[in-house]
C-alpha cells in the first residue's frame, strides 16, 4: 500500500491540483504534444533507471519530486514500473537542450542527447504529476527556439542573501530559463569579494541608508564593514562558486557583470585614484579611461572574476557613462589627440576594445549594454539591446550576436498593473500580456540577420525592491511568459492558451511558496484604426482566463446588462469605449475608458523639424496622428521620445480647414529624466513656410512632482483656417519629452 508521508513535499511543493485532467499542460509550450488515455502511477515500487551520463539529473529529479525510492538503477537492469533516462538517437535531432517524453501506464521514458535536455524533461514531468501521484499518458517532443533565455538580478542597489540567489535560479530553471545575469556591481554597492582590492568589500559594499531611496536622499555615502548603521553585504568567492555549481546542475549559466566604464561610483569612493579628479568624495561614477592604473585594476579584477565564473561571456556593462569629466580631463584630452578622436564616444569605444582584447586573450567574450555601440563596436562583442530594439538591429546587421532585452517589454522593475494598486516601482508598465506579446527577432532583420539574435532576457533593477519576496512578486508570472517567448516556437504561442495553462501554474507557484503577482481584473482596450473607412476594430484583453467582460460605447459605465464582449467589434466614428470584468454579475476591478477619436488630423502627414529619439521612435512619422493614446509606460510603443531637443513638428492637414481646438499629450516621470515641456505653442500657415503664432500655453505643473503623470495641453484655436499646423514644445531640462497624440477638431 502506498504510504502518503514520503509524498508530503510533492503535494506541498510540486504537484498540479488533484483535479487535473489527462491533458498534458506544460509551460513553456512544447514543440509537439500527443495526449493519450490513462496515467502512469508513482508508487513505492516505482524505480528510476538511468544511463551514467544522466545519473546526476535523475538524482536531482528524485529529490525535487520527493520520490519514495530515490536509488538510481543502472541502465542494464529492466525493472517494471520505472522512470527511465535513456540516450536519444542522433536522428531525433534534439540538440543540447531537447528531449522526448513517452508516458505510458507502465513506464516513463526520458530521452535526451545531453544532460541539459534530460533535466528539462524532468521539469516538464514535474508540472504533470498530480496530487494523487499520477502522470497523464502521452508523448512530448520538445526543444528550444532560442539558445539564450535569461533573467537578470541587480544585487547592487539592494543585497539579497545567498539562499535566495539559489532559489531565484531554481525557480527560473523550472521554466527552462538557462542564463542568470548576475549584476554584481553598480554605483550603490560592490557585491563580490576581490582579494587584490579589499576596500571593495570593506567600504564599497556597505552604505548608509538601508534602502536605495534613503541612501540617495542622505547624500550617497558609503560606510565601513562592521559599522552599526552600515547596510549591504557581499558574496565571498567561495559563495559565488557555490552559486555557479548550483546553477550548472540545473542547466543555468551564470554571467557576472562588472560595470564599466560608468556606474562605478562605489569603486571610485573606495579607490578615488581611478577617477578623473583623483580626489576623495569626488562624486564621480566614470573611470578615467586614460589612466594606465585603471586598466591594471580592471585586469586584476576580471582575472579573479574569470577564475570564479567559467561562463563564455563576461558582462562589462557599458551603459550610461556620463563622460562629462572626460571632456576636460588633461589625460583624456591627450589620449584623444594621440588617437585622433573627435569626441568622447570614441574614448568609450577605445576603452571597450581594450577591455575586450584582454578578456578575449583569456578565452572569453564580452557582452555589454547597447551603448557599447557608441564610437564603434569591439570586434567580437555581443550586444544586449535595452534602449528599445534599434541597438540589436544595428548590431545584428553588422554581424554581431545580440541578446534582446528592450525595456518596454522585459523590464520587470516596471509596474505590472495600475500603479495606484501596486508597490512603488521605477515607472513604466509591463503587464504579463505585454511580455508574452514580445517577438525577439525584429521584423527589420532578414532571416540571415535574425540568426544573430541569440534570445531574450528580462531585467530586474532593484531601486525600490528591498526584499526577496518583492523580487518574486515582480518576477512572476512575467518570467513564465518570457520562458514561453524564448523557448516555444512562434507558431505554438497563443495568449489564450497560455492563460488556460497558467491556471494550474498558479497552484504550482503557491505550493512553491512563490510570492507571485495575482492576475489583474483590469482590462486593456486595444483599437486597430482603419482610417479610410472611419472605423476601428476594438479588442478587449484581460489577464483573467475566460473573463466575463461587459462594455459600452457611449462613455457610460458598464453593468451586467451592458453588451457582453465576445470578440473584436467595430466602432465607427468617434466614440468612447468603457469596459470592465464581471464575476456573477458583480463588477470586479476598475472600469477602463478609451476614447476612439477620429479627429481632423488623424492619418495626416507629420513633418519633424527636429528629430525624435532613435531609441523611442514609436511609429516614427505616423506616431502623433495615428489615433492611439499612450498608457502609463513611456516604452509602450505609443509614446514617442524627444531627446535633449525641443519638439518641433508640422502637420499637413492637406487642405485649409477650420481649426477649433487642438490638444497634445505629454508625460512626466522625473526618475527617468522625462519632463513636461516648459511651454507649448501652436503656429499656423497656409504655405508651410510662413508661420504665425496663435497661442502659447505655459506648463503649470512643477518639475519636482515625482509621481508619474500625464498632461494634455489644450488650445482654443477659435475657428482659424489654415492648412499647416506647427507645434513647438520647449525641453527646458534637456532630458526627454514624451508625446503621444495631437488631436485636432
Q: Which architecture, in CATH terms, is 605-744?
A: Sandwich (2.60)
Question: Rounded CA gap, 99 and 30, in Å?
Answer: 10
Residue spans of the domains in the chain: they are: 32-142, 145-193+234-257+381-517, 261-364, 523-596, 605-744
**In this predicted structure, what is the pLDDT of residue 454?**
99
Cis bond leading into 220, ω under 30°? no
For the record, the C-alpha cell of 324 comes out as 562629462
Question: Rounded CA gap, 720 and 348, in Å?
Answer: 52
- Given a cut of 80, whether residue 75 has pLDDT beyond it is no
What are the catalytic residues? 186, 263, 320
Question: Rounded CA gap, 736 and 669, in Å?
Answer: 10
Q: What is the side-by-side strand order in the sheet with 569-572?
A: 524-530, 535-541, 569-572
* pLDDT digit string, tens, across residues 424-447: 999 889 999 999 999 999 999 999
Question: Rounded CA gap, 449 and 395, in Å?
Answer: 9
- Given a cut of 70, whether residue 7 has pLDDT beyond it is no
Question: Rounded CA gap, 563 and 581, in Å?
Answer: 12
* pLDDT digit string, tens, across residues 473-508: 999 999 999 999 999 999 999 999 999 999 989 988
Backbone φ and ψ for 625, nearest 5 degrees, come out as: -130, 30
Measured between alpha carbons, how far is residue 360 from residues 60, 273, 302 in Å? 35, 27, 12
Banded model confidence at residue 80, pLDDT cuts 50, 70, 90:
confident
Instruction: List the one residue out of 444, 407, 210, 445 whose CA is nearest residue 320.
Output: 407
Question: Rounded CA gap, 24 and 494, in Å?
Answer: 16
Residues whose CB falls within 8 Å of the CB of residue 340, separated by 6 or more in sequence, listed in order: none
- Given a cut of 70, whether residue 9 has pLDDT beyond it is no
Measured between alpha carbons, how far is residue 32 from residues 122, 146, 177, 535 in Å? 16, 17, 19, 40
* pLDDT digit string, tens, across residues 248-276: 999 999 999 999 999 999 999 999 999 99
- Given a cut of 70, whether residue 4 has pLDDT beyond it is no
32-142 folds as Chitobiase; domain 2 (3.30.379)
Tell me which DSSP letter residue 350 carries. Answer: H
Q: Which architecture, in CATH terms, is 145-193+234-257+381-517?
A: Alpha-Beta Barrel (3.20)
Q: What is the side-by-side strand order in the sheet with 548-552?
A: 563-564, 548-552, 575-583, 586-596
Angle at 569 between CA 565 and CA 574, to 5 degrees: 115
* pLDDT digit string, tens, across residues 362-374: 999 999 999 999 9
* pLDDT digit string, tens, across residues 591-642: 999 999 999 999 999 999 999 998 889 999 999 999 999 988 888 889 999 9
**In this predicted structure, what is the pLDDT of residue 22?**
63
Question: Rounded CA gap, 281 and 291, in Å?
Answer: 19
- Given a cut of 60, whether residue 348 has pLDDT beyond it is yes
- Given a cut of 50, whether residue 406 has pLDDT beyond it is yes
Measured between alpha carbons, how far is residue 18 from residues 10, 132, 693, 697 in Å? 12, 6, 71, 63
Pairing of strands 230-232, 206-208: antiparallel
**In this predicted structure, what is the pLDDT of residue 318?**
96
Question: Rounded CA gap, 117 and 251, in Å?
Answer: 9
**In this predicted structure, what is the pLDDT of residue 17?**
40
Q: Helices 495-511 and 478-487: crossing angle, nearest 10°?
A: 130
For the record, the C-alpha cell of 525 comes out as 482596450
- The pTM (predicted TM-score) of the whole model is 0.88
Residue range 387-411: mean pLDDT, rounded: 96
| Other residues' Cβ atoms within 10 Å of the Cβ of residue 226 | 8
Instruction: List the one residue out of 185, 460, 145 whose CA is nearest residue 314.
Output: 185
Q: Quote the percentage of the chain above a pLDDT of 90.
A: 85
Cis bond leading into 261, ω under 30°? yes
Residues whose CB falls within 8 Å of the CB of residue 517, separated by 6 or more in sequence, listed in order: 416, 417, 432, 473, 474, 476, 477, 478
* Sign for the pseudo-dihedral over CA of 323, 324, 330, 334: positive
Question: Rounded CA gap, 555 and 557, in Å?
Answer: 7
Instruction: List the one residue out of 609, 599, 618, 602 whose CA is nearest residue 683.
Output: 609
Residue range 54-73: mean pLDDT, rounded: 91
Question: Rounded CA gap, 415 and 421, in Å?
Answer: 10
523-596 folds as Immunoglobulin-like (2.60.40)
Cis bond leading into 68, ω under 30°? no
Question: Rounded CA gap, 597 and 745, in Å?
Answer: 10
Amino acid at each position: 500500500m502506498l504510504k502518503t508521508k514520503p509524498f508530503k513535499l510533492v503535494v506541498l511543493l510540486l504537484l498540479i491540483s488533484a483535479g487535473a485532467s489527462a491533458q498534458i499542460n506544460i509551460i513553456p509550450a512544447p514543440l509537439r504534444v500527443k495526449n493519450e488515455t490513462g496515467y502512469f502511477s508513482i508508487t513505492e515500487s516505482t524505480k528510476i533507471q538511468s544511463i551514467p551520463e544522466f545519473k546526476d539529473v535523475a538524482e536531482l529529479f528524485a529529490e525535487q519530486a520527493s520520490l519514495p525510492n530515490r536509488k538510481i538503477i543502472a541502465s542494464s537492469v529492466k525493472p517494471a514500473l520505472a522512470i527511465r533516462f535513456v540516450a536519444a538517437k542522433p536522428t531525433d535531432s534534439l540538440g543540447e537542450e531537447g528531449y522526448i517524453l513517452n508516458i505510458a501506464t507502465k513506464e516513463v521514458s526520458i530521452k535526451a542527447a545531453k544532460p541539459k535536455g534530460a533535466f528539462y524533461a524532468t521539469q516538464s514531468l514535474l508540472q504533470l504529476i498530480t496530487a494523487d501521484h499520477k502522470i497523464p499518458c502521452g508523448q512530448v517532443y520538445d526543444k528550444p527556439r532560442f539558445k539564450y533565455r535569461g533573467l537578470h538580478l541587480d544585487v547592487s542597489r539592494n543585497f539579497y542573501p545567498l539562499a535566495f540567489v539559489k532559489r531565484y535560479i531554481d525557480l527560473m530553471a523550472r521554466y527552462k530559463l538557462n542564463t542568470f545575469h548576475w549584476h554584481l556591481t553598480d554605483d550603490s554597492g560592490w557585491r563580490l569579494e576581490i582579494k587584490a582590492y579589499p576596500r571593495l568589500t570593506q567600504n564599497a559594499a556597505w552604505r548608509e541608508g538601508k534602502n536605495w531611496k534613503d541612501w540617495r536622499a542622505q547624500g550617497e555615502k558609503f560606510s565601513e564593514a562592521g559599522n552599526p548603521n552600515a547596510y549591504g553585504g557581499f558574496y565571498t568567492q567561495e559563495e559565488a562558486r557555490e552559486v555557479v555549481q548550483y546553477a550548472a546542475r540545473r542547466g543555468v549559466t551564470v554571467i557576472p557583470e562588472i560595470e564599466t566604464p560608468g556606474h562605478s561610483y562605489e569603486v571610485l569612493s573606495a579607490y578615488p585614484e581611478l577617477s578623473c579628479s583623483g580626489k576623495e568624495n569626488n562624486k564621480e561614477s566614470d573611470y578615467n579611461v586614460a589612466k594606465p592604473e585603471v586598466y591594471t585594476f580592471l585586469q586584476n579584477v576580471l582575472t579573479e572574476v574569470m577564475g570564479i565564473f567559467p561562463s563564455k561571456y563576461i558582462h562589462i556593462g557599458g551603459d550610461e557613462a556620463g563622460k562629462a569629466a572626460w571632456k576636460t580631463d588633461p589625460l583624456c584630452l591627450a589620449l584623444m589627440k594621440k588617437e585622433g578622436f573627435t569626441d568622447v564616444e570614441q574614448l568609450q569605444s577605445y576603452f571597450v576594445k581594450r577591455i575586450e582584447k584582454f578578456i578575449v586573450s583569456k578565452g572569453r567574450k564580452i557582452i555589454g549594454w547597447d551603448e557599447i555601440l557608441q564610437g564603434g563596436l569591439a570586434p567580437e562583442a555581443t550586444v544586449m539591446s535595452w534602449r528599445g530594439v534599434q541597438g540589436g538591429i544595428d548590431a545584428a546587421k553588422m554581424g554581431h550576436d545580440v541578446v534582446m532585452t528592450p525595456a518596454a517589454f522585459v523590464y520587470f522593475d516596471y509596474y505590472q498593473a495600475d500603479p495606484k494598486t501596486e508597490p512603488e516601482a521605477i515607472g513604466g508598465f509591463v503587464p504579463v500580456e505585454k511580455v508574452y506579446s514580445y517577438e525577439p527577432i525584429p521584423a527589420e532583420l532578414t532571416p540571415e540577420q535574425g540568426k544573430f539574435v541569440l534570445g531574450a532576457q528580462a531585467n530586474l533593477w532593484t531601486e525600490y525592491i528591498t526584499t526577496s519576496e518583492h523580487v518574486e512578486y515582480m518576477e512572476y508570472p512575467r518570467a513564465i511568459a518570457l520562458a514561453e517567448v524564448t523557448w516555444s516556437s512562434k507558431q505554438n504561442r497563443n495568449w489564450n492558451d497560455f492563460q488556460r495553462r497558467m491556471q494550474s501554474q498558479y497552484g504550482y507557484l503557491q505550493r512553491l511558496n512563490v510570492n507571485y503577482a495575482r492576475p489583474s481584473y483590469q482590462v486593456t482596450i486595444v483599437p486597430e484604426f482603419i482610417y479610410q473607412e472611419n472605423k476601428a476594430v476594438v479588442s478587449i484583453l484581460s489577464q483573467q482566463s475566460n473573463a466575463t467582460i461587459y462594455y459600452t460605447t457611449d462613455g457610460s459605465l458598464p453593468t451586467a446588462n451592458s453588451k457582453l464582449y465576445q470578440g473584436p467589434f467595430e466602432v465607427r466614428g468617434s466614440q468612447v469605449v468603457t469596459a470592465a470584468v464581471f464575476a456573477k454579475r458583480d463588477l470586479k476591478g476598475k472600469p477602463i475608458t478609451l476614447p476612439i477619436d477620429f479627429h481632423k488630423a488623424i492619418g495626416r502627414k507629420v513633418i519633424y523639424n527636429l528629430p525624435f529619439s532613435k531609441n523611442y521612435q514609436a511609429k516614427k512619422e505616423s506616431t502623433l496622428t495615428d489615433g492611439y493614446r499612450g498608457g502609463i509606460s513611456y516604452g509602450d510603443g505609443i509614446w514617442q521620445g524627444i531627446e535633449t531637443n525641443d519638439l518641433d513638428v508640422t502637420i499637413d492637414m492637406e487642405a485649409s480647414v477650420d481649426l477649433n481646438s487642438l490638444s497634445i499629450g505629454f508625460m512626466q516621470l522625473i526618475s527617468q529624466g522625462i519632463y513636461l515641456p516648459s511651454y507649448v505653442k501652436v503656429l499656423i500657415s497656409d504655405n508651410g513656410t510662413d508661420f504665425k503664432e496663435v497661442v502659447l500655453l505655459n506648463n503649470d505643473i512643477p518639475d519636482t512632482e515625482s509621481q508619474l503623470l500625464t498632461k494634455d495641453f489644450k488650445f482654443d484655436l477659435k475657428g482659424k483656417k489654415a492648412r499647416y499646423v506647427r507645434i513647438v514644445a520647449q525641453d527646458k531640462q534637456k532630458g526627454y519629452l514624451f508625446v503621444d497624440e495631437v488631436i485636432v477638431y
